[in-house]
Amino acid sequence: MPDLHLTRRGLIKGLGLSACSAAAHPWLTSVTLAGSDGRAPLGDHRLVVIILRGAMDGLDLVQPLDDPAFATLRPTLGAGTGSHELTGGFGLNAAAGDLMPLWSAGELAFVHATSTPYRDQRSHFTGQDLLEAGGGTAAGDGLPRDGWLNRMLGVVPGLTAEIAYAIGTEALPLLQGDAPARSWAPDQDMQLSAQARLLLEHVHHDDPVFAAAVAEALVLTEAGMTGDTRSAKRDKVFADVDALVDFAADRMLAQTRIVAFSQAGWDTHRGQAQAIGRPLSRLSRTILRLAEKLGPQVWGKTTVLAMTEFGRTVRENGTGGTDHGTGGVMVAAGGAVKGGQVLGAWPGLRDGDLYDGRDLLPTSDVRAWAALAMRDLYGLDRAVLEKTVFPGLDLDWTGAKIGGLIR
C-alpha cells in the first residue's frame, strides 16, 4: 500500500485541484441538463446512502495486513482471523466474505482513513448529527438543521417526493428538510373506509405536522406500498433487512432515485471478533440482496455508499474490542462504482502516524467522496456541493487526490 505519511498540514495545503468546469446553469452542469427530460431530472442513476450507527471499525472491515504495526496493535483482531485478500496489502474481514464476488466483479470499493470533520469529542450522537447534517465541526449552532441528502434534492428543480425515500421506523435526519422526500417503513398498512378517511382529513386539517404525515401515509398505503411480507421468501435472521431491501428495490425499479436508511450495531467495545460479525453480515446481505432484486440493468446504474460517524481506536482495548476513534472506512458498492480498489491515502499506523496518539489519521473528508459521487452521477456543480450540500467542504485539498469513485 502507498505509505504516504501525510501531515495534516500537508493535507490541507498540498492538494491543489482545478475546479470543475463552470456551468451555465447556476446549479447543474450542462451534462445533466442535457440528459434530463423533466420527467426524470436525476436521470437513471440510483444512490443509496446507508448510515452505519455506532461507529464501524474500518480497520477490522478492511484490514491493513501489510502494515507491520497492525498485528501488534490488534493481537486478537485482524491478522490471523482469515480475511480475504483485497489489493494493496489489505484484507476483507471474513464475516463480510459474501461480498467477495462483488469485489471481483469490480462493483465494490472501500475508502480507507476517511472521516467527517468531527474531532476529539468522539460522541456517537454528535458524530451522527454531523454526518447527516453534512456540515459543522461540533455540536450546536453551526450545524445545518436539515440533512445533506435533502439539500442535494433541494437544488435540483422539478423533483417529486417519490424521488427520495427514507426507510425505517427510526428518524433519519439525513433526508429531513424542505425538499420533498418520502419517509416510510416496509410492512406498514392502514385500512380506512372512505368515510373515515374524509373525517380524518377533516380532523387533521389545522395541524400541519399531523396533516402532512397522515396525507403521506394515505398516499403510500393506497398506492399499495405496504410490502408483501407474508408470502415473500425470507430468512428469519434477516427478515427485517430483507423487508427493507425489497421495499427499497421496488421503489428504485420505479421512480425513486435516492434511498436512505440506517443500520445499527457497530459499537463493538468488547469481544469484537464475534460482535462485528452480525452487523457485517447484515450489511453484506443488504448490498447483495439489493443487487439481486434490482437486476443487472438497474444495479449497473446504482451506487451504494455506507458511512459511519467515526472509526475506532487503532489499538485493541483491554476487552477484545475497540473504543471510539476518528478515521474509518466508507463502503461503496454498485454497478456504477469503480470497484476493486481500496481508495484513500494510507496514513500508517506507527506511533507518530496516529491522530491524537490513538486513532487512524483521516486523510480525506468522507463528505468529499459523497460530493464527487453526486457530481459524477447527477452533474452537481462544485459550488453547490461546497456551499449548499456540504457547507465548509473544500474539494480543493481532497478532490484532486481522490478523484472520485464513479465509473
Partner 1 sequence: MIRCKADFLRADCEATEMTTDPTDPTTAIAAFRFGFGLPLPKGAPVTPATMIGHLVAPDPMDAVYPRLRLTEVAEATRTAHEAQAAARKDRSKEAAEKAAIDVVLTLAATGFRRQLARSLDSPDGLRERLVRFWTDHFTVVTRNKPNAAIVASFVDDAIRPHVTASFAQMLTAATLHPAMLTYLDQVVSVGPNSRFGKRQGKGLNENLARELLELHTLGVGGGYGQGDVRELAELLTGLRVDPGEGVVFDDRRAEPGAETVLGLRYGGKGMDPIKAVLADLALRPETARHVTGKLVTHFLTDAARPELVDALSEVWMRTWGDLAAVTGAMLDLPAFWSTQAQKARNPVEFLVASLRALGVSGADVMAATEKDFRQLIMAPLIAMGQPARGAAGPDGWPEALTDWITPQGMAARINWAISAPKRLGKTMPDPVALVPEVLGPRASERLIWAVARAESRSDGVALILAAPEFNRR
> Could you list the residues that contact partner 1 (CB under 8 A)?
53-54, 120-126, 138-140, 169-171, 176, 182-185, 188-193, 195-196, 199-200, 202-207, 209-210, 213-214, 216-217, 220-221, 264, 267, 269-270, 317-319, 321, 323-324, 356
* Euclidean distance between the first and the last CA atom of the chain, given in angstroms as a whole number: 22
Give the shortest CB-386-to-partner 1 separation in angstroms: 27
Shorter beta-carbon distance to partner 1: residue 4 or 218? 218
Long-range residue pairs from 209-212, CB within 8 A, at least 24 positions apart, any chain:
none
DSSP 297-366: HHHTTEEEEEEES--BBSS--TTSS--B-S-EEEEEESTTB--S-EES-B---SGGGSBTTTBPPP-EEH
Interior angle at CA 371, CA 167 and CA 26, nearest 5: 105
Q: How far is the CB of 48 from partner 1 (least distance, A)?
A: 19
Q: 3-class DSSP state for residue 372?
A: helix
Euclidean distance between CA atoms 383 and 214, whole angstroms: 37
CB of 160 to partner 1, least distance (A): 15
Nearest approach, Cβ of residue 144 and partner 1 (Å): 16
- Grid cell of 15 as nine digits: 492538494
Query: Closest separation between CB of residue 282 and partner 1, Å?
Result: 14
232-258 in b/e form (b: 16+ CB < 10 A) is: eebeeebeebbbbbbbbbbbbeeebbb
Give 161 or 406: the residue with its C-beta nearer to partner 1: 161
Q: Which is nearer to partner 1, 124 or 234 (CB)?
A: 124
The single residue listed with the C-alpha cell 495486513 is 65
CA distance 11 to 13: 6
Question: Alpha-carbon distance 65 to 207, whole Å?
Answer: 57
Single out the residue of 374, 338, 299, 303 nearest to residue 149, CA to CA: 374
In the bound state with partner 1, the residue whose beta carbon lies nearer, of 76 and 255, is: 76
**87/255 with CB nearer partner 1:** 255
Nearer to partner 1, 183 or 341 (CB): 183
Q: Between residues 269 and 338, which has the closer beta carbon with respect to partner 1?
A: 269
